[in-house]
Amino acid sequence: MTTPEGATGPTRAAGDTMTVPAGPAGPAHDAADTTTVAGPARAAGDTTTVRVGPAGPARDAEDMMTVAGPARVAGDTTTAPGGVRAEAGGAGGGSTTAARLRRYVIGSYPPAFYLPYAVTWALGVSALVALADPRVGVWRPDGGALVSVLTFAITLLLMRAVDDIRDLEYDRVHNPGRPLPGGAVRVRDLGVLIAAGTAAVLALNAGRGVVLALLAAQLGYTLLLLAVDRRWGWPSGDDLGLSNLVSAPVQILLNLYLYAGVLQQEGLTPSPHAVPALLTATAAFLHLEYARKVTRVPRPGERGYAVAYGPDRTAVFAVVGAVVAAGLALALTRPWQHIPGAAPWGWLVLLPLLFVAFGAYRFWRTGTPRWPLLPPALFLLTTFLAYLAAAALGKDLV
């Protein structure tokens, strides 16, 4: 998700971790700042760190939380610097590419977290643009919507892989426990993943015309940025303004891909009605982008909004993004009016603000050193669900 995060996604900040046993070192958190994501049983202390937030190439570090993963057989791994478990023999040892990529997915893209995110993003934004367009009466998610969901699930994984390649040198110093710098996977493995995933999503969308063209443009732009970064190291991760400017087309193209899918399904042409809907989605992403970077205790070498603008100002930006998103969504649904397309269910778009209020309370009133990470993620997920529910209940989506 806005997004997300660096050159092709929202920027990342060091220290963006949740405190758990045996996890990477990071700023101290109080007990309420810890979160466990359910997954298969693991041996004691055998945790995996994953990034939190919209997938996309990034320039900052430590967007991580700890999730459970499959149990490991004693003796089949060694511990790399920073706590990553990798097979003996260096980068992935003598294991196969498939095995190394499996470890990579567990560590950087756990399905339990990212699949719900991909599903709600694809369906939620599609519902929002349908809700905003008065030409759309009854919107039914069809086979094209399912293709969009599968496309997002794969594309977000590809964005994560590109992100990790771009951040490799930085992560070797500041985040050696991540799968790529820790040796659990190789750069060429991720290259295989990116090539195969790109071919898969393009094939999945074959015959969709403009929809396919927008997806190809998004993937091509992302790969171009990766090539430029690998060749010239541009843009610098320390230049937040430039990084955000360069990253913007990635999310714009992803949301335009969803919009084009709705237009194709309904047999419509583009109209200005999509503009406020796409701005609403972007504002919602901005909350997650800023909130997860808010910290009063940046580590040496950390880069991010809180370092550049200060923690309080960054927190204000986060709150403003959420409020603007909710306000724009209300303007689209107009639940206070008794007109076609409007229904009291439009008030649902305000419910995700409860997570914003909780985060603000924790940060400003209890003095926690950073904005808690889970509420911004839940804000974005429930915002997407609110769009879908408002369309379903207020515009006869069946």
pLDDT in tens, the chain (398 residues): 444 443 344 444 444 433 333 333 333 334 334 333 334 444 444 444 445 544 443 444 344 433 333 333 333 333 333 333 333 334 444 589 999 999 999 999 999 989 999 999 999 999 999 989 988 887 888 999 999 999 999 999 999 999 999 989 888 988 899 999 999 999 999 999 999 999 999 999 999 999 999 999 999 999 999 999 999 999 987 788 898 899 899 999 999 999 999 999 999 999 999 999 999 999 999 999 999 999 999 877 777 899 889 999 999 999 999 999 999 999 988 888 765 555 678 899 999 999 999 999 999 999 999 999 999 999 999 999 999 988 887 765 43
As to burial, measured by CB atoms within 10 angstroms (0-12 exposed, 13-18 middle, 19+ buried), residue 176 is: middle
Residue of 54, 62, 64, 65 lying closest to 13 (CA atoms): 62
At 2 the pLDDT is: 40
At 396 the pLDDT is: 53
CB atoms within 10 A of CB 185: 30
The Cα–Cα gap between 22 and 293 comes to: 23
Q: Which domains does the chain have, with CATH numbers?
A: 108-394 (1.10.357.140)
The Cα–Cα gap between 248 and 10 comes to: 8
| Local structure of 231: helix, strand or coil | helix
At 255 the pLDDT is: 97
Note whether 55 and 27 are within 8 A (CB).
no
pTM of the predicted model, to two decimals?
0.78
At 7 the pLDDT is: 39
- Interior CA angle at 310 toward 307 and 312, to 5°? 140
At 238 the pLDDT is: 79
